[in-house]
Amino acid sequence: MINRRTLLKRLAATPIVGALFGSAAATSAAGSLLKAPTRDYFSELGLRTFINASGTLTALSGSLMPDEVMEAMDYARHHYVRLDDIQDKVGARIAERLGCEAATVTSGCFSAMTLGMAGVMCGMDEEKVAQLPDPTGLKHEVLMPKPEHYVGYVHALTNAGAKIIEVETVEEMEASVNDLTAMIFVLNAYNGTDISHEDVVRIGKAHDIPTMNDCAADVPPVDVLWKYTDMGYDLVTFSGGKGMRGPQSAGLLLGRADLIAAARLHAPPRGETIGRGMKVNKEEVLGMLVALERYLDMDHEAQWQRWEDQIAYIESVVKEVDSVTTEIHVPEIANHVPNVRISWDQEVIPITGNEVEEKLQAGHPSIELGGGENNVGVSVWMMRPGDERAVAWRIREVLEEAIA
Ligand SMILES: *Cc1c(COP(=O)(O)O)cnc(C)c1O
């Protein structure tokens, strides 16, 4: 899965920020560097907090930032820097660590897509920058392998004024290239066609059309962070707050230096732009860098083993209930982590998965997971160590109560 040699190459650089804040690898997810808060803000607000057995869903606030990330953000809040300076330095550091030409921190993967698209459409022409989202006179058609199902993320591109042209075959993609073609875009996880990445890169290069791959939720595995820029994609985008557990409002735009420079013309601090609302300040920029470095330096195999142990524990507890079966599922691309589906015979346990979901939300501790017809899906990805116990026993309790 992970190519050891390239991995070692990527992981060899000494992280500047790691040296400042102590080795990321040495600090466990559970270890707390920060002072305990003196106020219980969420309970003051009457807010329900919960165990996340669902994954990095935006609606569930995504992921929990590790202490190293918060330390970096806390450090940054004490100092002024020029926003362009920190983007320059952090972008260069990220590019160096990932072995790509250039990088910039955006306010999420979605804005990485918008800014990248805008950069492709306008280049370094400030008048064109001010013109968006009006695409008059600009190349603005985007060829996209048809997604398996509709996903709203392409709004990130249409926000810039682009028009999406869905194609289903290599021949159709080549035939659709014309004077208005601005970019070829791939939703890494949802490509429902036989058009391969190699095809996309080849067609892009042959016609001098930039290519972009949206890999928002596609780490792990860690090597996706360099796989597609290495392959020849001109731009690759990631969410910062999913697998990397950086700030939720951060993301990465990686790729060609000229296109990253052009994308940044649409980003704050510049004001007359479509990207002015996509602000990411020094705290998130630094937090994103530290999250990325921590992620690169992590022992990924040990992490995978912890997930498998958590799943094995949950399976051992719930399988004690009559008719319950479990099945482990690892999506190939996006959310590539072990999940377990817990199913039961409704003749024996007369309750639906949605009812189990509601009971778990309403219980103590509250738990969020996805319920289906006669099953629930559990993701251990975003659980804290020990959460698997509460999840396993609450599911068992709810199922046993349904029998009684
Ligand atoms: C989550 C996601 C996005 C949006 O990412 P943000 O970091 O939340 O802006 C875009 N594309 C895909 C495929 C995603 O999964």
Ordered by where they begin, the domains of the chain are 4-49+300-403 (3.90.1150.180), 67-297 (3.40.640.10)
Average pLDDT over residues 155-165: 98
User: Which tens digits make up the pLDDT trace of 38-96?
Assistant: 899 999 999 999 999 999 999 999 999 999 999 999 999 999 999 999 999 999 999 99
Angle among Cα 55, 18, 379 to the nearest 5 degrees reads: 10
Rg (CA), the chain: 23
User: Which tens digits make up the pLDDT trace of 195-224?
Assistant: 999 999 999 999 999 999 999 999 999 999
Burial of 357: CB neighbours in 10 Å, binned 0-12, 13-18, 19+:
buried
Q: How far is ligand 1, taken at its centre, from the CA of residue 120, in Å?
A: 20
Which atom from ligand 1 is nearest to the alpha carbon of 188?
13
Q: What is the pTM of this model?
A: 0.92
Average pLDDT over residues 220-247: 98
Q: How far is ligand 1, taken at its centre, from the CA of residue 239, in Å?
A: 6
Whether omega for the bond prior to residue 37 falls within 30 degrees of 0, making it cis, is: no
User: Which tens digits make up the pLDDT trace of 259-292?
Assistant: 999 999 999 999 999 999 999 999 999 999 999 9
What residue owns the CA closest to ligand 1's atom 5?
A: 109
Q: How far is ligand 1, taken at its centre, from the CA of residue 309, in Å?
A: 28
Mutate to test the pocket of ligand 1, among 60, 65, 110 (most ligand atoms within 8 A of CB): 110
Q: How far is ligand 1, taken at its centre, from the CA of residue 7, in Å?
A: 25
Q: What CA–CA distances, in Å, run from 288 to 70, 172, 219, 276, 360?
A: 10, 39, 14, 19, 33
The pLDDT assigned to 32 comes to 56
Q: How far is ligand 1, taken at its centre, from the CA of residue 242, in Å?
A: 9
Is the pLDDT assigned to residue 29 strictly greater than 70?
no
What confidence category does residue 149 fall into, taking pLDDT thresholds of 50, 70 and 90? confident
Is the pLDDT assigned to residue 124 strictly greater than 80?
yes
Mutate to test the pocket of ligand 1, among 239, 244, 249 (most ligand atoms within 8 A of CB): 239
The pLDDT assigned to 404 comes to 81
Average pLDDT over residues 221-250: 98
The pLDDT assigned to 25 comes to 39
The pLDDT assigned to 37 comes to 77
The pLDDT assigned to 6 comes to 52
What confidence category does residue 18 fall into, taking pLDDT thresholds of 50, 70 and 90? very low
The answer for residues whose C-beta is within 8 angstroms of residue 137's C-beta and 6 or more apart is none
The pLDDT assigned to 150 comes to 78
CA distance 65 to 73: 11
Identify the helix (H) or strand (E) that includes residue 328. strand 325-329
Which atom from ligand 1 is nearest to the alpha carbon of 189?
13
The pLDDT assigned to 9 comes to 55
The pLDDT assigned to 310 comes to 97
CA distance 121 to 124: 10
Mutate to test the pocket of ligand 1, among 65, 109, 244 (most ligand atoms within 8 A of CB): 109
What residue owns the CA closest to ligand 1's atom 12?
A: 216
Is the pLDDT assigned to residue 28 strictly greater than 50?
no
Is the pLDDT assigned to residue 304 strictly greater than 90?
yes
Is the pLDDT assigned to residue 147 strictly greater than 70?
yes
Average pLDDT over residues 348-353: 97
What confidence category does residue 22 fall into, taking pLDDT thresholds of 50, 70 and 90? very low
